[in-house]
Amino acid sequence: MCRAWHVLGCTFLIIAVMVLSLGCGGPDLEPEEETQPEDITEAGNDVLVRDAPYGDPENLDPIVRGRMGAMAVTMNLFDGLVAHDPETAEVVPAIAHDWDISDDGLEYTFYLRDDATFHNGRAITADDFVYSLERLSDPENASPLGHYLDGVIGKAAFEEGEADHIAGLEVIDDHTLRIVREEPDSAFLSLLGFPAAGVVPREAVEELGTEFGHEPVGSGPFEFVSWAKDDRVELRAFDDYYRGEAGIDGVVFRVIAEASTKEAEFLAGNLDAFIAPASIYRKYRDHEDYADNLISVAEFFTRHVGFHCEKEPFDDVRVRQAFNYAIDTETIIDVVLGGKGVPAVGYLPSSSFAFDDTLEGYDYDPDRARELLADAGYEEGFEVPIMTSEHPEWGLPVVEAIMPYLNEVGIRLKPETMDTGVLYDRLRAGDYQTYIYSTGGDAHPVNYLWRFHSVLASTTNRYWSEELDDILNRARRTSDEDEMVELVREAEAKIIQDAPIYFFHYNKAITMHADRVQGMKPVPIDMALQDLWSVRLED
Amino acid sequence: MGRYAARRILQSIPVLIGITLVAFILMDIVPGSAVSMMMDPRTAQMSPEVEARLIEHYGLDAPAPVRYARFLLNAARLDLGFSLRFNQPVSRVVAERMPPTAVLALSAGLLATVLGLTFGIVAALHRGKPVDTLSMIGAMAGASMPVFWFGLLLMLLFSVRLGWLPPSGWGGGRLSYIVMPALALGYGFAAVIARVTRSSMLEVLGMDYIVTARSKGLSGRVVVYKHALKNAMIPVVTVIGGQFGRLLSGAVLTETVFAWPGLGRLLIDSILMRDLPTVQGCLVVIAAVFVGINLVTDLLYASLDPRVRFQ
Amino acid sequence: MSSGYRQVPEESIARRGFLPRFFASWSAIIGALIVVILIVVAIAAPVLAPNDPYEAESLRDAYRPPGQQFPLGTDVLGRCILSRILFGTRISLTVGLVVQGISVALGVTLGVVAGYREGIVDDIVSNLTNIMFGFPHLLFALAVVTVLGPGLYNMFIALGLAGWPMIARLVRGQTLSVKRKEYVEAARAAGCSDFFIVTRHILPQCLSPVLVMATMGMAAAILAEAGLSFLGLGAQPPAPSWGSMIARGRDYIWDSPWMTTYPGIAIFLTVLGFNLLGDGLRDFLDPRV
């Protein structure tokens, strides 16, 4: 019996040693910094505790991945030449306090502030931007967002390895940067406002290597404090921020996956703000105590059912239109989404400055749907599979809700559930007939509608229209904003008419916040991308 | 004994390798690519050139056997690869998440062992009385409840309705955060332990030498009971070792419900995001722990029952 | 590994108190009762269900608490929870049966072959079994379902594949011990074919323990299905699987708890029934253990 205990004892010792040694890191690491940074959540500090939208950010180097979960954090850590006004999505100055664009739309000259510094104290110059933008475009770094600088002179050569620098990035002096393009693009400036185009300190990147993504150093209103993976990210206000110090002392992003857990934490007072899903919106939209604590906006995400426009039966526009008429969108939004959705007219959301409120979409008209189907030769109806994820707002529950309506006119849906990764891959491979999805995420109307351009057709719905292509091309090339808006509206009208998708709804994004939180905004690009510098906590 | 131990350890190695192979094959056939997950799939579309470049950059274009061989060689040096999701070494990713899962598993295990042994022994000693029946009914109930449902109910009761405990997170390991997850996870485990302990105790108590000792009026009931206990523990230990798998499966569900930043969540998220290196790394670590525990159980067993060594 | 249980003299059974013996047989009775009720419900579901489980009459009926028209309330899409639970019995029983069928078929075959032939075949099968044991049950099923895609049939395969090692190990042990019995050696000497020996002597001896394990395994399979559905890999709509009902309702647990509570109770009772039955069967078939 003694031997048994010996065996047990030895084993526990071994296991303990193993666990401890693994806990201290593997062979690739420097000693874990167990140095406790100041606890920013201690009493006396104004710290905003919010949820980590889309979960753990995974990596905070802005060029490494293109996921929104990371952007929600990195946009507060990294500043760039320009930024987006949170509410209108228009381009506003950031580190470049002013800029000129030449008449032919090819030359952009940026005038930089002289009081912008990195979190490590060093002043920012035009050279830093050249370094950062080249880093983004460098094929060695394999950034999925490396296309931002497409069309800039010399970028292609740089990518091929023929040049050491991008010729089109010119440093005029320490605080003046010029970017020269080969052809105009009205959406280029907007791209420079995303975190991937943000400025990073060369010395920190070179020192940390891939660990830069886990200990980021930027120039934004907040600096990095700590990150417990899958648990929380902590940021602290940057004292020397050029716009002035942030309204709060720090932010904690808490990673919570379950909606009901978020709600419980909020009610318990542990969470100041979070992005609310439909189940929670439903409950609180008319609540006497909490109705005022909700901020809503029609986000730049259009939920839709996509049709494979090259395969029967959806190659016939009448069938596609019938699908749109057959569904009582408003009731579904009301019941299944608890009202958390703005019924879609076309593809461009109503919060865009280019939105045309005179356009008419598809009403609920099952008779018309049946007529159209009969015209197209599908009086008997047909059966068709639909790819879907399990998402509560644009997945299985919605599919189940629209099935009865479509049954009424003879369209029988067969759902195929899969996770979004697989759905997306099959989408690009063309291996589907219909699918339900949510796309968007860009503020510029031309960029937004670009998915219907034939250039992208093979990765979206295989819908081709020369007419639409022409309109969109012109919209992209013009530097006259009014003309661009006109053309965009024309394009929308055509898209609605050709119905390459079932226009479901624009996401009504909801932020629910505690009474003391002031300054959170309805951000149409994505409610997750809050500019936390302007938040204040009033007790 | 030493030879038996050595033999068993050697036997474990092909098992470990086999596990990595199965993990590799499974993840290789999974449809969907890690690379397309690097962008938010709702926003910009990733062009084929960018995708090809990324695939090449991460070495995903090598044929499967090459990738597997690479993985094995690295694993031997304790380098578990590079995570596609986090852009970090997998060993680091896994190491950061071990403490929460370890805390959860150990607390649940401890709770289960204490509860299970206590009720099992009490039930056996007072067999036939209400304590016995009630304990066994409670144990049955525990073994039959879905872990996640029980967890949600606990959260409903103790956090939302009563407000006594924080609903989620692991709070750096503070006690108030551990209570509910450990309970949710451990209860089912405790049930199994209780039942096995009870039947094992009953059996041993009915043994000749115990009966004889008692009939001789041997004082020191304590001595008798201690003997009974020691011998009764043998099958209990076996069962605990065998049930460990259930603990880890349950941990995955518990971690999801309580937002616990551990290995279980990591594994699920990595499978869903097609982060093959991390999945492999996790499975290797988990499997190593398993194999280790099985090994310990076997060795313990062999030291108690010498016949086993010569099979 | 041998089971570690030594023989208890027959007389000591009589020593056991009245209640535990009753409890032992009570298990079998209650368990059997529950299982029978479940089977009846599964068959009679169309008659018993007050509403259509697949489609709601009107979307506006959603989120109703338990009341007259909907005795257990409605779910997110307005479907009657009671009706869905009743029809869900079919799915759960099917899951239990098919999964165990696969596990038993695979496990018995491999176990007998390994135990009977021994040698290299045994080594291979034993190693395979040990490898399978190295994976947590649920995670293996999860990985397989991710490969195959969600859906009921894929879940059968996944869970069936995850469950065979336990049975294989049991059957192998039994085979090994029966093989050494005198009457088997006699049969061998008499020239009986392997097939004959296996089917006439070995398999019948395995029957009871396999039956017990399979019964408990049904409970485990139903729990596993619920777990997988909870993680988001459940059966396809509009199939009313209990696990996916909980998964669907979990966002509303604070205010509409009926969506998760009742399916949870259904799972609980079903699993309890099979566990009790298995327990009772074990006591009944092998009272010495």
- The series of mean pLDDT values per 10 residues for chain B, 311 residues long, is 77 78 76 70 68 79 81 78 85 89 89 88 81 83 85 84 81 84 90 84 73 64 67 74 76 85 86 79 80 75 64 53
Gap between the Cα atoms of A97 and B69, Å rounded:
54
Residue A456 clears pLDDT 90, i.e. is over it: no
Identify the residue with better confidence: B169 or C32.
Answer: C32
Surface of C (61-90) touching B: CB under 8 A: none
Separation of alpha carbons A472 and A468, rounded Å: 6
State the amino acid at position A206 in one-letter form. E
Cα A413 from chain centre = 30
Element at C178 (helix H, strand E):
helix C152-179
Among A531, A532, A517, smallest CA distance to A271 is for A517
What kind and span of H or E run contains A278?
A: helix A278-284
pLDDT of residue C282: 77
Interface of B with A in 268-287 (CB under 8 A): 269, 272-274, 285
Query: In the prediction, which pLDDT does A459 show?
Result: 79
Nearest CA in chain B to C146: B30
Count Cα neighbours of A57 within 13 Å in the Cβ-side half-sphere.
Answer: 31
- Chosen for mutation from A7, A159, A526 (greatest number of chain B CBs closer than 10 Å) is A7
pLDDT of residue B304: 64
The one-letter amino acid code at C171 reads V
Q: Give C51: exposed, middle or buried? Use CB within 10 Å, 0-12, 13-18, 19+.
A: buried
Tokens of A255: 């990673």
Q: C18 and B202: CB-CB below 8 Å?
A: no
| Chosen from A256, A260, A336, A416 to mutate, greatest number of chain C CBs within 10 A | A260
Read off the pLDDT of residues A122-176 as tens digits, 9 standing for 90 and up: 999 999 999 999 999 988 888 888 888 988 999 989 988 888 899 999 999 999 9
Strand segments, DSSP code E, in A215-254 are: 222-228, 232-237, 250-254
Residue A425 C-alpha, separation from nearest chain C C-alpha, in angstroms: 14
Are B238 and B297 within 8 A, CB to CB?
yes
Q: Which of A26, A64, A265 lies nearest to residue B89, judging by beta carbons? A: A26
Q: What is the pLDDT of residues A162-217, one digit of tens each?
A: 888 999 999 999 999 999 999 888 888 988 999 999 999 999 999 998 899 999 99
- How many other CB atoms are found less than 10 A from the CB of residue A90? 15
Summarised one tens digit per residue, pLDDT across range A255-277 is: 887 787 888 888 888 899 999 98
Q: How would CATH label the architecture of A2-254+514-537? A: 3-Layer(aba) Sandwich (3.40)
Check residue A25 and give its pLDDT: 35
pLDDT number for residue C284: 72
Amino acid at B240: I
Is residue B201 within 8 Å of residue B121, measured between CB atoms?
Answer: yes
- CB–CB contact B79 A28 (8 Å): yes
Distance of alpha carbon A436 from alpha carbon A402, whole angstroms? 11
Inter-chain residue contact B290 with C17, CB threshold 8 Å: no
Q: Identify the closest residue of chain B to C126 by CA–CA distance.
A: B15
Q: Closest by alpha carbon to C150, among C247, C282, C85, C84?
A: C247
B105-163 tens-digit pLDDT = 889 988 998 998 888 888 888 877 888 888 888 888 888 888 888 888 888 888 877 87
How far is C207 from B33, CA to CA, in rounded Å?
Answer: 45
Cis peptide bond N-terminal to A343, omega within 30: no
Does the pLDDT at position A241 exceed 80? yes
Mean pLDDT for the stretch of residues A415-431 = 83
Distance from C-alpha of A243 to C-alpha of A83, rounded to nearest angstrom: 13
Q: Which pLDDT band holds residue A36 (cuts at 50, 70, 90)?
A: very low
Q: Which residues pair with A92 in a beta bridge?
A: A83
pLDDT for residue A2: 46
pLDDT at position A9 over 60: no
* Cα dist from A446 to A528, B3, B213, whole Å: 22, 74, 91
Alpha-carbon gap, residue C285 to A148, rounded angstroms: 72
Instruction: Evaluate if residue C15 carries a pLDDT over 50.
Output: no
- Report yes or no: B40 and A66 within 8 Å, Cβ to Cβ: yes
pLDDT above 80: residue C176:
yes
C-alpha dist (Å) from residue C166 to A19, C171, C216, C284: 29, 9, 11, 21
C250·A336 Cβ contact <8 A: no
Residue A509: count other Cβ atoms within 10 Å of its Cβ. 25
**CA–centroid distance for A534 within its chain:** 20
CATH topology match: A2-254+514-537 vs A297-509:
no
The three-point CA angle B144-B147-B149 to 5° equals 95
Per-residue H/E/C for chain B: CHHHHHHHHHHHHHHHHHHHHHHHHHHHHCCCCCHHHHECCCCCCCCHHHHHHHHHHCCCCCCHHHHHHHHHHHHHCCCCCECCCCCCEHHHHHHHHHHHHHHHHHHHHHHHHHHHHHHHHHHHHCCCCHHHHHHHHHHHHHHHCCHHHHHHHHHHHHHHHCCCCCCCCCHHHCHHHHHHHHHHHHHHHHHHHHHHHHHHHHHHHCCHHHHHHHHCCCCCHHHHHHHHHHHHHHHHHHHHHHHHHHHHHHHHHHHHHCCCCCHHHHHHHHHHCCCHHHHHHHHHHHHHHHHHHHHHHHHHHHHHCHHHHHC
Looking at the DSSP bridge assignments, the partners of residue B88 are none
How far apart (Å, rounded) are the C-alpha atoms in residues C3 and B238?
Answer: 9
pLDDT band at residue A32 using 50, 70 and 90 as cut-offs: very low
- pLDDT bracket for residue A42 (50, 70, 90): low
pLDDT of residue C237: 65
Q: Of B148, B23, B98, whose CA–CA distance to B263 is shortest?
A: B98
Please list every residue in chain C whose beta carbon sits closer than 8 Å to the beta carbon of residue B140. 272, 275-276, 279
Domain definitions of chain A by residue range = 2-254+514-537, 297-509
In this complex, do B146 and C8 lie within 8 Å of one another by their Cβ atoms? Answer: no
B97: nearest CB among A26, A68, A229: A229
Cα(A222)–Cα(C82) distance, integer angstroms? 52
Token digits of residue A234: 């902590």
Superfamily of structural domain C76-285: MetI-like (1.10.3720.10)
Task: Fold for A297-509, please state it.
Answer: Dipeptide-binding Protein; domain 3 (3.10.105)
Residue C274 near residue C35, CB atoms below 8 Å: yes
Alpha-carbon gap, residue A260 to A268, rounded angstroms: 12
Look at A415 and C151 and tell me if their CB atoms are within 8 Å: no
What is the DSSP annotation of A355-391?
--TT-------HHHHHHHHHHTT-TT-EEEEEEE---
**Which chain C positions have a beta carbon within 8 Å of A404's beta carbon?**
55-56
What are the structure tokens assigned to B8, written together? 């068993």
The chain-wide mean pLDDT, for chain A, equals 86
Average pLDDT (A236-248) is 91
Q: Is B300 on the interface with C (CB under 8 A)?
A: no
- What's the pLDDT at B120? 86
pLDDT digits (tens, 9 = 90+) for C187-213: 778 877 777 777 777 788 788 888 888
- Taking alpha carbons only, the member of C38, C62, C9, C84 closest to residue C287 is C9
Query: β-pairing, A250-254 with A47-51?
Result: parallel
Percent of chain A, pLDDT > 70? 92
Q: Which of A120, A313, A329, A310 is nearest to A216 (CA)?
A: A120
Contacts of C268 in chain B (CB under 8 A): 141, 144-146, 149
Q: Does B22 touch chain C (CB under 8 A)?
A: yes
Given this model, what pLDDT does residue A33 score?
A: 37
Q: What separation, in Å, do the N-terminal and C-terminal C-alpha atoms of chain A show?
A: 64
**Which residues have a Cβ under 8 Å from the Cβ of A60 and sit 6 or more positions away?**
A70, A73, A74, A77, A213, A214, A216, A224, A227, A233
CB C258 within 8 A of CB C65: yes
Q: Is C67 helix (H, G, I), strand (E, B) or coil?
A: coil
Q: Do C267 and B249 touch (CB under 8 A)?
A: no
How do beta strands A517-518 and A536-537 pair?
antiparallel
Q: What's phi and psi for A437, nearest 5 deg?
A: -155, 175
A536 or A27: which carries more pLDDT confidence?
A536
Q: How confident is the model at residue A1 (pLDDT cuts 50, 70, 90)?
A: very low
pLDDT for A375: 92
The answer to whether B52 and B36 have CB atoms below 8 angstroms apart is no
Predicted complex ipTM = 0.77
Is A43 exposed, middle or buried, given 0-12, 13-18 or 19+ CB atoms closer than 10 A? exposed
Q: How far is CA A166 from CA A82, A192, B213, in A?
A: 20, 16, 92
In this structure, what token pair is assigned to residue B276? 């093959």
- Interface list for C 257-286 with B (CB within 8 A): 257, 260-261, 264, 267-269, 271-272, 275-276, 279
The confidence score (pLDDT) of residue C13 equals 44
Chain-chain contact of B144 with C134 (C-beta, under 8 angstroms): no
If we measure between CA atoms, which residue out of B51, B47, B85, B33 comes closest to residue A142?
B51
Interface A-B: count of C-beta contacts within 8 A: 191
Distances (CA, A) of A58 to A55, A66, A68, B71: 9, 11, 11, 22
